[in-house]
């Protein structure tokens, strides 16, 4: 993380800096006791003297806790990753704003003590899960037979990806926190304020639900299931509740030690209060839930965290993506076709706008990321911290990107009929003298992604057509122009000028129709890369042969 960015961070426009400034204001508002302290903090922070503010006002020095939540009732999806990625961006912006003078912690919390309410659609071995319905996820057997429980399996899947991406975080399990006693003090406080919590919750529920609602979900000592049953008696002095078990037996259990868990909105609030959470973002669909949990957090003696509501991701049909449905993309899907950096870039872009999360967004996100990385090198510091790549790489973007775009690689794969990266490198090494997979690791990765994407999505949908008379004449002219340039020409601008000239001489105005014809006849698709760049890499002679094959109708 770069230092000396506090003065720039105060006016940076990127949304993570907006969040960082709001969080710092929250700390001043909630951690400083007197108005004199708050006024002094405002002056020092306004002057960019963050370290002096922390030294002078030790109330600001307390650890700042960022949290993200994960419900492991289904396999992790990109929405889960997005929340960790975006929160990490806010954390990095906060560190820059405060010059690392205030310590921070990012907790990834798994709600793995929840009861399994429904068998996910995207699981093959459903019988095992069906038998364990309503038990805590860390008790439900793993249908894959790898981990002790389904919850632990999904937790491991999430952690493996987060670790692979290099996130700096701490993983916490709801089951472990409840059972270890970490939440005991706050749970006893919730028991003492049972009626106050009910006053908040009951108006939000339907009539039938109100009749049986309790903020405490006891775990049946007999069946091991998480029960949604009324609390019949409360004993604050003993720290227990009484409920009717599934067989009707009145049963008394402590609210501590993992014998119960809380309903999710009170549970969320309890966690904020018990862990001192300062920042947590959530989806737009949870705005009302956040308001309710904020009220309960205050009842429990806590201070609700700062945060904002992001828009939800949509699948190909415009429907909300869901872990249980398995629609949209998994993290593994994206990483078969695109770099982790492109995924993080996609998460950075417009978090308050609904976006489709399907395979066709990957090439565009990849190329936009590369464009921003190229631009970063020539920018001053003020523009750099608003550049998405600063946030993708937590303030430490790489010096070099890729000299070839992803869209161009896709078309190179198509034209060369490449089945492995070695074929592509035969073209790339000629176009970029001295380039190897070792000297251009990002380009090498992208070559593999391009082959995968082409085979799975482009090849099955290719539709070649024959040219009409005007297109045929223009392509014949282009082939002659390329011959005149000579087989060794790799001058992109020179080649592109000849492509333009052939189209203009054939009467294509605008030239969009000319390029569409080249792509449809030669590549079997309606769009493509800058054609001069494609020819420079593919080679003059090979491009001429490609044109001749297209004119003969041999490419379909």
CA 431, CA 410: separation in Å to the nearest integer? 16
Residue 174 shares a structural domain with residue 236: no
Note the pLDDT of residue 4. 66
Residue 210 shares a structural domain with residue 338: no
Do strands 250-254 and 240-244 pair parallel, antiparallel, or not at all (unpaired)? antiparallel
**Structural domain tally of the chain?**
5
Outline where DSSP puts E strands in 315-466. Answer: 355-356
Contact 251, 221 (CB under 8 A): yes
Note the pLDDT of residue 3. 57
**Residue carrying structure tokens 């008379």:** 469
3 state DSSP class of 250? strand
CA 389, CA 59: separation in Å to the nearest integer? 33
- Final residue in a domain of this structure, among 339, 354, 389: 389
The rounded percent of the chain whose pLDDT value lies above 70 is: 97
Note the pLDDT of residue 200. 98
Q: Angle CA(169)–CA(172)–CA(174) in degrees, nearest 5? A: 155
Instruction: Give 13's contacts (C-beta < 8 A, 6+ positions apart).
Output: 386
Note the pLDDT of residue 1. 53
Question: Concatenated DSSP letters for 456-485?
Answer: IIIGGG-------HHHHHHHHHHHHHHHHH
Q: How many residues does the chain have?
A: 556
The predicted model gives 513-526 an average pLDDT of 93
CA 47, CA 63: separation in Å to the nearest integer? 23
Task: Classify residue 475: in a domain, yes or no.
Answer: yes
CA 174, CA 109: separation in Å to the nearest integer? 7
CA 169, CA 233: separation in Å to the nearest integer? 40
The burial class, CB within 10 Å (0-12 / 13-18 / 19+), for 158 is buried
CB count within 10 Å of CB 531 equals 25
What's the pLDDT tens digit per position in 18-48? 999 999 999 999 999 899 999 998 888 888 7
The burial class, CB within 10 Å (0-12 / 13-18 / 19+), for 18 is middle
Do strands 355-356 and 260-262 pair parallel, antiparallel, or not at all (unpaired)? unpaired
Note the pLDDT of residue 328. 64
CA 128, CA 214: separation in Å to the nearest integer? 29
CA 132, CA 129: separation in Å to the nearest integer? 5
154 phi and psi angles, rounded to 5 deg: -70, -35
Residue 21 shares a structural domain with residue 113: yes
Residue 227 shares a structural domain with residue 317: no
Note the pLDDT of residue 81. 84
Confidence of residue 433 (pLDDT cuts 50, 70, 90): confident
Contact 65, 107 (CB under 8 A): yes
- Final residue in a domain of this structure, among 362, 389, 416: 389
CA 16, CA 1: separation in Å to the nearest integer? 15
Confidence of residue 126 (pLDDT cuts 50, 70, 90): confident
Task: Classify residue 90: in a domain, yes or no.
Answer: yes
Residue 200 shares a structural domain with residue 250: yes
Residue 209's domain comprises 184-262
Residue 254 shares a structural domain with residue 317: no
Nearest partner of 140 among 52, 216, 30, 223, judged by Cα: 223
Residue 59 shares a structural domain with residue 149: yes
CA 86, CA 100: separation in Å to the nearest integer? 19
Classify the C-alpha dihedral 145-149-150-154 as positive or negative. negative
Residue 385 shares a structural domain with residue 334: yes
CA 497, CA 480: separation in Å to the nearest integer? 14
Instruction: Examine residue 510 and say whether the peptide bond preceding it is cis (omega within 30 degrees of 0).
Output: yes
Examine the pLDDT at 466 and tell me if it is beyond 90.
yes
Nearest partner of 64 among 99, 105, 94, 92, judged by Cα: 105
Examine the pLDDT at 163 and tell me if it is beyond 70.
yes
Task: Classify residue 556: in a domain, yes or no.
Answer: no
CA 419, CA 478: separation in Å to the nearest integer? 28
Task: Classify residue 178: in a domain, yes or no.
Answer: yes
Residue 165 shares a structural domain with residue 284: yes
Residue 53 shares a structural domain with residue 125: yes
Task: Classify residue 1: in a domain, yes or no.
Answer: no
Tokens representing 475? 């392509």
Outline where DSSP puts E strands in 266-398. Answer: 282-283, 309-310, 313-314, 355-356
CA 113, CA 116: separation in Å to the nearest integer? 9
Residue 17 shares a structural domain with residue 138: yes
Instruction: Give 284's contacts (C-beta < 8 A, 6+ positions apart).
Output: 309, 310, 311, 312
- Final residue in a domain of this structure, among 273, 294, 310: 310
- Give how far Cα 434 sits from Cα of 421, 431, 439, 440, 532, Å: 17, 9, 8, 10, 21
What's the pLDDT tens digit per position in 273-305? 999 999 999 999 999 999 999 999 999 999 999
Note the pLDDT of residue 50. 81
Note the pLDDT of residue 327. 61
Residue 115 shares a structural domain with residue 135: yes
Task: Classify residue 494: in a domain, yes or no.
Answer: yes
Tokens representing 462? 């290719």
Contact 300, 277 (CB under 8 A): no
**Residue 484's CATH number:** 1.10.10.350
HSE on the CB side for 58, CA within 13 Å?
Answer: 0
Confidence of residue 419 (pLDDT cuts 50, 70, 90): confident
Tokens representing 422? 């070695």
Note the pLDDT of residue 75. 65
Task: Classify residue 394: in a domain, yes or no.
Answer: no
CA 368, CA 220: separation in Å to the nearest integer? 53
What's the pLDDT tens digit per position in 304-343? 999 999 998 877 777 776 655 556 677 788 889 999 999 9
Task: Classify residue 482: in a domain, yes or no.
Answer: yes
Round to the nearest angstrom and report the end-to-end CA distance of the chain. 52
């Amino acid at each position: 993380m770069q230092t000396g960015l506090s003065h720039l961070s105060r006016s940076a426009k990127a949304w993570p800096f907006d969040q960082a400034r709001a969080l710092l204001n929250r700390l001043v508002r909630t951690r400083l006791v007197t108005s004199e302290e708050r006024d002094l903090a405002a002056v020092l922070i306004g002057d960019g003297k963050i370290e002096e503010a922390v030294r002078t006002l030790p109330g600001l020095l307390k650890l700042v806790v960022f949290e993200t939540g994960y419900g492991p009732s289904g396999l992790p999806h990109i929405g889960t990753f997005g929340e960790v990625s975006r929160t990490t961006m806010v954390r990095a912006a906060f560190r820059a704003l405060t010059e690392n003078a205030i310590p921070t912690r990012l907790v990834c919390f798994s709600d793995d003590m929840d009861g399994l309410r429904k068998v996910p659609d995207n699981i093959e071995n459903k019988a095992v899960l069906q038998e364990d319905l309503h038990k805590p996820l860390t008790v439900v057997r793993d249908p894959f037979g790898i981990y002790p429980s389904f919850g632990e399996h999904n937790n491991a899947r999430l952690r493996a990806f987060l670790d692979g991406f290099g996130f700096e975080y701490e993983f916490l399990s709801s089951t472990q926190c409840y059972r270890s006693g970490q939440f005991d003090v706050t749970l006893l406080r919730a028991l003492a304020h049972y009626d106050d919590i009910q006053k908040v919750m009951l108006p939000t529920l339907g009539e039938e639900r109100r009749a049986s609602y309790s903020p405490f979900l006891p775990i049946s000592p007999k069946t091991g299931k998480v029960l949604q049953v009324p609390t019949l008696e409360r004993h604050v002095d003993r720290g227990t509740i009484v409920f009717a078990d599934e067989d009707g037996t009145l049963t008394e259990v402590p609210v501590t030690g993992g014998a119960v868990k809380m309903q999710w909105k009170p549970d969320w609030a309890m966690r904020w209060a018990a862990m001192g959470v300062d920042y947590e973002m959530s989806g737009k669909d949870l705005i009302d839930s956040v308001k309710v949990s904020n009220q309960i957090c205050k009842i429990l003696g806590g201070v609700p965290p700062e945060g904002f509501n992001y828009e939800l991701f949509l699948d190909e049909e415009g429907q909300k993506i869901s872990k249980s449905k398995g629609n949209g993309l998994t993290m593994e899907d994206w990483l078969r076709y695109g770099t982790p950096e492109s995924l993080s870039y996609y998460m950075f872009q417009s978090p308050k706008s609904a976006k489709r999360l399907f395979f066709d967004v990957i090439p565009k996100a990849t190329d936009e990321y590369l464009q921003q990385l190229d631009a970063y090198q020539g920018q001053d510091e003020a523009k750099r911290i608003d550049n998405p790549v600063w946030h993708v790489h937590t303030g430490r973007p790489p010096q070099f990107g890729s000299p070839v775009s992803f869209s161009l690689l896709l078309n190179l794969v198509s034209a060369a009929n490449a089945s492995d990266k070695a074929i592509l490198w035969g073209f790339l090494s000629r176009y970029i003298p001295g380039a190897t997979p070792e000297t251009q690791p990002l380009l090498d990765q992208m070559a593999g992604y391009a082959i995968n994407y082409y085979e799975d999505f482009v090849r099955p949908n290719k539709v070649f057509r024959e040219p009409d008379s005007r297109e045929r004449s223009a392509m014949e002219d282009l082939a002659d122009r390329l011959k005149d340039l000579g087989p060794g020409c790799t001058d992109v601008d020179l080649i592109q000028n000849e492509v333009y000239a052939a189209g203009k001489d054939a009467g294509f105005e605008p030239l969009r129709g000319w390029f569409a014809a080249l792509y449809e006849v030669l590549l079997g698709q309606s769009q493509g890369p800058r054609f001069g760049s494609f020819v420079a890499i593919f080679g003059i002679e090979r491009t001429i042969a490609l044109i001749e094959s297209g004119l003969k109708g041999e490419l379909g």
